[in-house]
């Protein structure tokens, strides 16, 4: 009984130390020019790209945005059924 209690206490301590020692966020700072998604939610204009595009990049970005918007709309519609 004491051995089992001691072992479970040791396992619990190891789990606690492992959880406390692991990083909870990104370990490296974001690259220069990268804006956090929270900042984009508060001020979407601050996240707009104003530089030049490579050939085909603008069309790709616009199509990707449309696809993401459709996926988000489907997800919201599915969530509203419940």
Task: Yes or no: say if 76 and 82 are a contact pair by the CB < 8 Å rule.
Answer: no
Token couple for 60: 């790709």
Look at residue 52 in the predicted model and tell me its pLDDT.
Answer: 84
Put simply, whether the predicted model's pTM sits higher than 0.75 gets the answer no
Tokens read off for 21: 């020692």
Question: According to the model, what pLDDT value does residue 21 have?
Answer: 53
| Tokens matching residue 45 | 């204009």
pLDDT attached to residue 66: 97
The pLDDT value recorded for residue 3 is: 66
First to last CA, the chain: 48
The pair of structure tokens assigned to 8 is 């479970």
Domain limits, the chain = 56-82
- Residue 32: per-residue pLDDT: 47
Q: Using CA atoms of 49, 50, 53, 58 in order, give the dihedral in degrees to the nearest 10.
A: 60
Q: What are the tens digits of pLDDT across the range 22-78?
A: 455 445 545 545 556 777 888 888 888 788 888 999 899 999 999 999 999 999 998
Q: What is the pLDDT of residues 14-24, one digit of tens each?
A: 555 565 554 55
């Amino acid at each position: 009984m004491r051995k089992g209690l001691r072992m479970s206490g040791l396992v619990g301590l190891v789990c606690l130390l492992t959880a406390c020692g692991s990083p909870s966020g990104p370990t490296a700072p974001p690259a220069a020019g990268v804006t956090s998604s929270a900042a984009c939610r508060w001020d979407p204009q601050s996240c707009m790209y104003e530089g030049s595009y490579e050939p085909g990049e603008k069309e790709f970005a616009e199509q990707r945005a449309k696809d993401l918007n459709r996926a988000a709309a489907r997800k919201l519609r599915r969530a509203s059924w419940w």
